[in-house]
Structure 1
Amino acid sequence: MNVKSRVRIGAVVGAAALALGALAAPASADPAPNSNGTPNYRVLAGVGSDTTQDVFNGLGTSINSGSLVASYNATGSTTIKTRATNCVIPRPNGSSAGINALRNAVDNNTGCLDFARSSRGVSNSSTTDLTFIPFGKDAVTFAVRGNSALPKALTTAQLTSIYTCDTTSLNGVALTPLLPQAGSGTRSFFLGALGLTEDTFGSCVDDTVQEHNGEALNSAGDIAPYSIAQYIAQTNQPGDVADRRGASVLGSVDGVQPVTGGALNTAFPYNRDVYNVVPTNKLTTANIADTFVGGTSKVCQQTAVINDYGFGTIANCGSTVLKGES
């Protein structure tokens, strides 16, 4: 693997798109202050995945009238403050970064974090210190620019060849494959779907791009993985979801369309559960249990919010079977 660093600038996609972008308010990176302007720390604090940050902003507003769950976005200010005292921490960007921050809070008994958002499952099963609790279904496909000559339908074999740099052009267009930033759950999931690892994707790949940001696709050859749920949410813009699609469009894989009837196609080949990760020894703590554990938990009961943000509902919502170290 050869990490390439490039500056990617959002594509200018016409005056109409610019006008629409100006009207779309960016998602709030942190819980909004109280009406009197004081910080709104809430009871449970969570960080991590870019994929699920927006749905958790929506859930945080809906559950207990916005008093229980504080979810901090993957990007924004360099640091965040999750408690009134002694809890200024670096902002984690991505699933792995969020899980690491949660584990650090547990190991050092800081009390600064209660859960981590994750778009991947367990990567290290050496202990059962953390429990990965699923709450929704997502899938990942590839995105290209709508005005590019690149195909809008590919096979898994073609995608693998692109990301190992064996295929360098399609339809006469030189390919520039992109991957999300290090620590992204979507990055690890997409590589796994292609049968690749951190050590086997090609040196032509730019792996420095913020995930689910279609504005980073600023040349005809750009291709990147994209959460279908995130794309749907950015299209519909419930709550304060920022429309980052730019000129990107989603592609089909192995003949399967990513969206059907405006909703996630749960039959898409690269589908995944998304999770809230909590310390296993906190599973019976009242606030953790009531919020995350079981099909009657406060999160699992918010099916309308979960669907509004592009995710599918799942039968195993709230399950506590999946455990690991990270």
Structure 2
Amino acid sequence: MINTKRLVRKLLVGGIATAAVATGLVAGVAGPASADPVGALAGVGSDTTQDVMNGAGDSIGNGIVGSWDAIDPITRVQHLVIAPKRNCTFNRPNGSGQGVTAIRQSGGVTAAINAPFADEADQPEAGCVDFARSSSDPGTNGSAAGRWVYVPFALDAVAVASSHFGDATATNYNALSYDASNAATGQGTLQKLYRDGATVTINGVTYDPQCNVAPCAGGATPIHLYIPQNGSGTRTYWLGKMGVTTVPAWLHDKAWDGAGYNGAIVEEHDGTVLQNDALGLAPYSISQWVGQRNGHGDRRHGAHLHSLVNTANGTAVNPLSGAFPTSETGNLNASFLIRREVYNVVEWKKVNVGNAAFDAQLYAVFGPGQGLCGKSAVILNFGFGLLNGSPLGHTCGQIADNLRAYGSD
């Protein structure tokens, strides 16, 4: 009988033969950008967790984890062809949804093969994707008998960001409110803006999300509401938290160009759209913001986070643990109003100890108490929180039936 714990431990010890062989299998495979990795386990998907997974992969070492960014890290172009393993080429997935599509395609799922994401001319060959990064949970695809399982590893929260800090507009944005008890009918001013397209008045200033250029009706101030690109897990998550079921005309995933929303695609947790639009407001992962501030792929471009007022008690909840809003010090406030677990999606049978298809190397990276979950310092340095104490119901690496998905696969 195989001693699973011993095998798992061996796979994470430097210089072991298994990792060396796995690395050799992909040696010489080059991606389109030199900053991309090569690893025995290939992962794609979420922008939110790409940086922390890069850091964790480096820390685990031994050529085991190869986590590929959501867009080309050099050219910043999306959907270019990548080659994460020998005899594997496919269009780079951009975001959680596309990453999950890619791993399902890699598993031969007909539904995913017949429903490629936009620009996906080249799908992954069998076995070419081992894990998909996801910043959203299974949602409506959840199934206790699902083929795939979302394995949690860290805590994140999402705030709104703009280009304003220390001015009257920042003060007003810090006074936006949120009703966490009911996204669909809650009367938080943030929900009224995003969900209803309604005007809201804060400190005497009325903001109109359906007016793009002043003068607006009644002397209101225009506000441009952004959401991330299609396929983004944060887009799906944020719309759910705002109570939005169908994207309305006042929400935009392309930048305002002075005449319309015809500019660049809004990439999640990238402040470019806000840098170029003083009227813009966009969701931004607090963990990503902190990680970028700490020097990990900084693409804030002057984006500043904002507080939310809890409608239940009228208390302002800050995104950071430091002296916010007078300064942007500190780390993720683990009690922020809009929180989530973040995940890696793998095939359930491969991380189910005792299953005939159990993959000790995959489990060694993603399972409870294993490689990724042993990298607390890395997780914190990249801005995320720990799942000690199950703040949202799960601990790091937990293989839970209520996080399985796609029962029809």
Q: TM-score, normalised by structure 1?
A: 0.82
- Is 1:325 the counterpart of 2:341? The answer is no
Per-residue deviation, residues 29-69 of structure 1 (Å, max 9, x unmatched) = xxxxxxx976463210000000000001101111034x110
Using the TM superposition, name which of 94-103 and 283-292 deviates more: 283-292
1:290 maps to 2:364 = yes
Deviation of the 1:207 alpha carbon: 2.0
Moved more, 121-130 or 166-175: 166-175
Q: In structure 2, which of residues 286, 295, 318 is the aligned counterpart of residue 257 of structure 1?
A: 318
Runs of 5+ consecutive residues of structure 1 not aligned to the other structure: 1-35
Pairwise CA distance, 1:125? 2.0
Deviation for aligned residue 1:106: 0.8
> Which is richer in strand?
1
The equivalent residue for 2:235 is: 187
Q: What is aligned with 1:203?
A: 249
Higher relative contact order (CA 8 A, sep 6+): 1
- Offset of residue 169 of structure 1: 7.7
**270-279 vs 172-181, which moves further:** 172-181
Structure 2 gaps, min length 5 = 1-26, 31-36, 110-124, 179-187, 206-219, 255-265, 310-315, 323-329, 352-357, 389-394
Could you tell me how far apart the structure 1 residues matched to 2:193 and 2:159 are? 14
Q: Which amino acid aligns with 2:54?
A: N
The total of aligned residue pairs comes to: 283
- The residue type paired with residue 73 of structure 1 is D
Residue aligned with 1:180, SS: coil
What residue is the counterpart of 1:32 in the other structure? Answer: none
Counterpart Cα distance in 1 of 2:128 and 2:384: 28
1:122 aligns with 2:179: no
Q: Helix, strand or coil: the match of 2:230?
A: coil
Q: Which residue of 1 aligns with 2:261?
A: none
CA displacement at 1:204 relative to structure 2: 1.5
CA deviation after TM superposition for structure 1 residue 301, in Å: 0.1
Q: CA deviation at 1:317?
A: 0.2
Pairing of 1:37-116 with structure 2 (within 5 A): 39=30, 41-65=38-62, 67-76=63-72, 78-85=80-87, 87-107=88-108, 110-116=126-132
Cα contact 2:149–2:345 (8 A) shared by 1: yes
For residues 238-265 of structure 1, give each alpha carbon's deviation from its aligned partner in whole angstroms, at most 9, with x where no partner exists.
xxx2221112210111210001031100
Q: Contact 1:178–1:206 (CA<8 Å) still a contact in 2?
A: yes
Query: Which protein shows a greater Rg?
Result: 2
1:135 alignment partner AA:
F
Q: d(CA) in 1 for partners of 2:226 and 2:199? A: 14
Q: CA RMSD in A?
A: 2.0
1:152 aligns with one of 158, 164, 173 = 173
What SS does the aligned partner of 2:253 have? strand
Displacement of 1:196 in angstroms is: 1.8
- Are the equivalent residues in 1 in contact too, given 2:164–2:304 (CA < 8 A)? yes
User: In the alignment, is the contact (CA less than 8 A) between 2:189 and 2:200 conserved in 1?
Assistant: no
Q: Secondary structure at the match of 1:234?
A: helix
The answer to whether the Cα contact below 8 Å between 1:168 and 1:174 also exists between their aligned partners in 2 is no
Task: Give the secondary structure class of the aligned counterpart of 1:46.
Answer: strand
Give, as a single letter, the amino acid of the residue that structure 1 aligns with 2:240: G
**Equivalent residues of 2:156, 2:341 under 8 A apart:** yes
Given candidates 340, 365, 373, the residue that maps to 1:272 is 340
**Secondary structure of the structure 2 residue equivalent to 1:55:** helix
CA separation in 2, counterparts of 1:226 and 1:184? 12
Q: How far did 1:168 drift? A: 7.2
Asked whether the 8 Å contact 1:138–1:312 carries over to 2, the reply is: yes
- Separation of aligned partners in 2, 1:247 and 1:306: 24
Of 278, 281, 296, 2:349 maps to 281
Distance 1:89 1:323 in 2: 25
**TM-fit CA distance, 1:111:** 1.1
The percentage of counterpart residues that share the same residue type is: 39
Q: Which amino acid aligns with 2:341?
A: D
